[in-house]
Structure 1
Amino acid sequence: MQILVTGTTGNLGRSVIETLLKNIPAQNISAFVREEEKILELKAKGINVFRGDYDNVSTLESAMANVDTVLLISAGDQGNRLQQHRNIIDTAKKSGVKNIAYTSRAMKNRSTLAHQLMEEHFLTEDYIKASGLNYTIFRNTLYMDVLPLFVGKKVFETGIYQPAGDGKVAFALRKEMGEAMANVLSNEACENKTYKFTNNESYSFYDIAKALTTLSGKEVNYQPVDISAFQERMRPTGIPAAMLQKVIEFNTDIKNGQEDETTNDLENKLGRKPTTLKEGLKTLFGL
């Protein structure tokens, strides 16, 4: 079995590679990377490394020669993400790859999404299913790792202000989702399954504030605000308008319950319970 992992220089890709190396021989792992400086580091582990990007079909073809399974780690939103995903899926089919896995998102209802970039994940899923390849879809919850960015560096002085209402998210650590994906890829046949990797519990920003208060000994409060008040509060920070809009859309989906579904899939594939919110925050904030 030869597994190609795309996007291996990102945090999720690195986690997948680390676990694959524990499960299968290094020579059975291939990595597709964009950054040249990462090539030697990966080659030193005994991994087959190919340099290229999702827009370059010829480099994708080289990377997929003699590959059985491709893990498509979703592209960033700077380019034409949907076309990039199609390039990988089309090349996999053309190259005789049997199986494809994809890192999607655990959103509850695609028809009511506020964050429309999330729809691209569902469209990629549709394209994979129509390709005829055997597939595994990993619908990952929102990374717990993003919470320091969401609440800000001065959270212990200012508290939490978000337009998320009482909405909850089944936050889980990115590293643990990468580990679970690698366990599936190296131990299971690709049988057209969809996994929802979430924590065992969902958490509101009230829960986050309470946990930070307990961990730090400093009172942290969460104040849900409306979108206009949030925009006014954020503008002086210099955040680009496009980024601010994305943050608002994320929060709107949270408020609308898009992110609160929980399953046992992550626990089952890790072989242990996922890291809880309190345990994760302790590490993420160095508390």
Structure 2
Amino acid sequence: MILVTGATGQFGVKAVEHLLKKGVNPKGISVLVRDATKAISLKEKGILIKEGDYTDHGSMVEAFIGVDKLLLVSSNNREAIENRTLHHKNVIKAAKEAKVNHIVYTSFVRKAGFENSTIADFQNSHVETENCLKESGIDYTILQNGIYAEMILAFVGDKVAENESILFPAEEGKASWVLREELAEAAAHVLTTQDHKNKTYSLTNTESIGFNTIAQDISEVLNKKVKYTSPDINEFKAIMEKAGVPEMYIGMFTMWGTALAEQTMDKEDDTLSNFLNRKPTSVRQFITKVYS
């Protein structure tokens, strides 16, 4: 039995879809959800729905009994970092009690020196989870996923065609952007193939791209010149505040823009290509599909 946590989220639901595409019998798949009414479509496919919560130890132990492989999809990033870390540790503890054989964990791409980056707290949450998993005695596979290509759309804004400009404080920073869909497909690959026990994989694209190139690609698709500007952080915040952007989003954009400028996510690797048996979708291909 394979169990997927967070199965009504964007990553989890895609992972389930790819398990089915790989021929896994729906009766061999179960999902952990907080609200079963949101998983009706999965139930209709024959998948076993189990209600549970990362904060409810008993519900997770019950849900994990009989599970061979568990895909631990990292907890929602909008929650406090310390809460996410605790959630992950709770899952691992419950899985050990239920005698789960193998946990596959969706972590995040990491480079040397991350401790001094703007996203150090975010990274440390994953480090703590990885260490907890390694110390649990359960067989594990750690997927250090690259930053989602879909995040580009949030960073450039929904009026990029209208304004013909991108305003984002990433300087010349690049990242090895990858589609969430393809990372979920890779997770399904790991869950359905052998020789992944106690291994850590970097799942990134094979080329890192910055916002100057992103602006050029959007320009070509729209057939109009889109200019990329990377303002000072304080200037960027002031512009966002004046535009009425909520403080939470200003903080998020500032954090990720600075992290990109610090070159924290430009790690290139061909493991994802090998798992997919093809090259991952490039940023240019993604942008062409979105804006054409």
TM-score, with normalisation over the residues of structure 1?
0.95
Task: Find the residue that maps to 2:161 and give its secondary structure.
Answer: helix
Aligned to 1:81, the other structure's residue is in SS state: helix
Are 1:246 and 2:252 an aligned pair? yes
Which string of whole-angstrom CA distances, capped at 9 and with x for unpartnered residues, describes residues 22-46 of structure 1?
2221111111112333332111111
Secondary structure, counterpart of 1:103 in structure 2: strand
1:136 is matched with which residue? 141
- Give the secondary-structure state (helix, strand or coil) at the position aligned to 1:125: helix
The counterpart of 2:273, out of the listed 267, 276, 287, is 267
Residue type at the aligned position of 2:26:
A
Give RMSD over aligned pairs: 1.3
In structure 2, C-alpha distance between the alignment counterparts of 1:92 and 1:189, rounded to whole Å: 21
Amino acid at match of 2:117: L
1:135 maps to amino acid: Y
Task: Please state how far the C-alpha of 1:280 moved relative to its aligned partner.
Answer: 0.6
- Report the alpha carbon displacement of residue 86 of structure 1 after superposing the two structures with TM: 0.7
SS in 2 for 1:144: coil
1:280 matched residue in structure 2: 286
Contact 1:100 1:136 in 2 (8 A): yes
Q: AA paired with 2:151?
A: V
Tell me which of 148, 154, 159 is aligned to 2:153.
Answer: 148
> Is the deviation greater in 272-281 or in 36-45?
36-45
How many angstroms apart in 2 are the aligned matches of 1:61 and 1:97? 10
Partner of 2:118: 114
Residues 1:75 and 2:75 are matched in the alignment: yes
Q: 2: distance between equivalents of 1:237 and 1:47?
A: 45
Displacement, 1:88?
0.2
Displacement of 1:186: 0.7
Alignment pair present for 1:102 and 2:105:
yes
Partner of 2:17 in structure 1? 18
**Within 2, Cα distance between the matches of 1:35 and 1:151?**
33
Distance 2:6 2:79 in 1: 14
Does 2:187 align with 1:181?
yes
Distance across 1 between alignment mates of 2:151 and 2:263 = 18
CA–CA distance in structure 2, aligned partners of residues 66 and 218 of structure 1 = 57
**What's the TM-score, normalizing by structure 2?**
0.94
- Contact 2:26–2:47, Cα closer than 8 Å, also in 1: yes
After TM superposition, give the deviation of residue 236 of structure 1 in Å.
Answer: 2.2
How far off is 1:135 after superposition?
Answer: 0.6
Q: Which blocks of at least 5 consecutive residues in structure 1 are unaligned?
A: none
Please give the alpha-carbon distance, in whole angstroms, between the structure 2 residues aligned to 1:207 and 1:39. Answer: 39
Match of residue 7 from structure 2 = 8
Matches within 5 A, 1:223-234: 223-234=229-240
Cα displacement string for residues 126-159 of structure 1 (whole angstroms, at most 9, x for unaligned residues): 1111111111001111100111111101112331
- Give the AA of the match of 1:113: S
- The residue aligned with 2:35 is 35
Cross-structure match for 2:50: 50
**AA paired with 2:158?**
K
Q: How far apart are 1:106 and its partner, in Å?
A: 0.4
How high is the sequence identity, in percent, across the aligned residues?
Answer: 36
2 CA distance for matches of 1:39 and 1:177? Answer: 21
Q: After TM superposition, give the deviation of residue 241 of structure 1 in Å.
A: 2.3
Structure 2: gaps of 5 or more residues: none
Contact preservation (8 Å) 1:140, 1:196: yes
Once the two structures are TM-superposed, the CA of residue 64 in structure 1 deviates from its matched residue by: 0.3
- Counterparts of 1:31 and 1:181, CA distance in 2: 15
In the alignment, residue 19 of structure 1 is paired with which amino acid?
H
Q: Is the 2:8–2:39 Cα contact (8 Å) retained in structure 1? A: no
SS state at 2:106 partner: strand
2-structure distance, mates of 1:192, 1:237? 48
3-state SS of 2:238 partner? helix
* Structure 2 contact 36–49 (Cα < 8 Å) conserved: no
